[in-house]
Amino acid sequence: MQKKRNTSILRAAALPDRRGALEAPGPQQKKSSADRGSSSSLGGLTEFLKMVRYSLDPENPTKSCKSRGSNLRVHFKNTRETAQAIKGMHIRKANKYLRDVIVQHQCVPFRRYNGGVGRCAQAKQFGWTQGRWPKKSAEFLLHMLKNAESNAELKGLDVDSLVIEHIQVNKAPKMRRRTYRAHGRINPYMSSPCHIEMILTEKEQIVPKPEEEVAQKKKVSQKKLKKQKLMARE
pLDDT band at 82 (very low <50, low <70, confident <90, very high): very high
Residues 84-101: tens digit of each pLDDT? 999 999 999 999 999 999
CA 85-95-98 angle, 5° bins: 50
Mean pLDDT confidence for 122-140: 97
Asked, for residue 91, whether it belongs to a domain, the answer is: yes
Asked, for residue 33, whether it belongs to a domain, the answer is: no
Confirm if 119 and 194 have CB atoms less than 8 A apart.
no
In the predicted model, is pLDDT for residue 48 greater than 60?
A: no
pLDDT for residue 204? 80
In the predicted model, is pLDDT for residue 230 greater than 50?
A: yes
Asked, for residue 50, whether it belongs to a domain, the answer is: no
Confirm if 80 and 137 have CB atoms less than 8 A apart.
no
**Tally of domains in the chain:** 1
pLDDT for residue 215? 55
Percent of the chain, pLDDT > 70? 74
How many residues would you count in the chain? 234
Asked, for residue 16, whether it belongs to a domain, the answer is: no
Asked, for residue 40, whether it belongs to a domain, the answer is: no
Segments forming the whole domain that contains residue 109: 60-202
Q: For the chain, what is the mean pLDDT?
A: 83
| CA torsion, ordered 86, 90, 93, 95, to nearest 10 deg | 70
- Has this prediction a pTM greater than 0.85? no
**CA distance linking residue 50 with residue 64, whole number of Å:** 21
Q: Which residue has the higher pLDDT, 228 or 210?
A: 228
Q: CA of 144: how far to CAs of 81, 92, 167, 200, in Å? A: 16, 13, 11, 11
Of 199, 95, 99, the C-alpha closest to 157 is 199
Mean pLDDT confidence for 103-130: 97
pLDDT for residue 211? 67
In sequence order, which residues have a C-beta less than 8 Å from that of residue 202 and are 6 or more positions away?
63, 64, 157, 158, 161, 162, 163
Mean pLDDT confidence for 106-110: 97
Q: Which of 27-31, 152-156, 169-173 has the lowest mean pLDDT?
A: 27-31
* Phi, psi (rounded to 5 degrees) for 53: -75, 145
Asked, for residue 39, whether it belongs to a domain, the answer is: no
Count of other CB atoms within 10 angstroms of residue 201: 20
CATH value at residue 92? 3.90.470.10
Secondary structure letter of residue 63 according to DSSP: G
Helix ranges (H only) for the chain are 2-23, 27-51, 76-86, 91-102, 135-155, 222-233
pLDDT for residue 228? 86
Asked, for residue 232, whether it belongs to a domain, the answer is: no
Residues 49-79: tens digit of each pLDDT? 454 688 989 989 999 999 999 999 999 999 9
Asked, for residue 92, whether it belongs to a domain, the answer is: yes
In the predicted model, is pLDDT for residue 103 greater than 70?
A: yes
pLDDT band at 209 (very low <50, low <70, confident <90, very high): confident
Orientation of helix 91-102 relative to helix 76-86, angle to 10°:
140
What is the maximum span of the chain, computed from C-alpha positions, in angstroms?
132
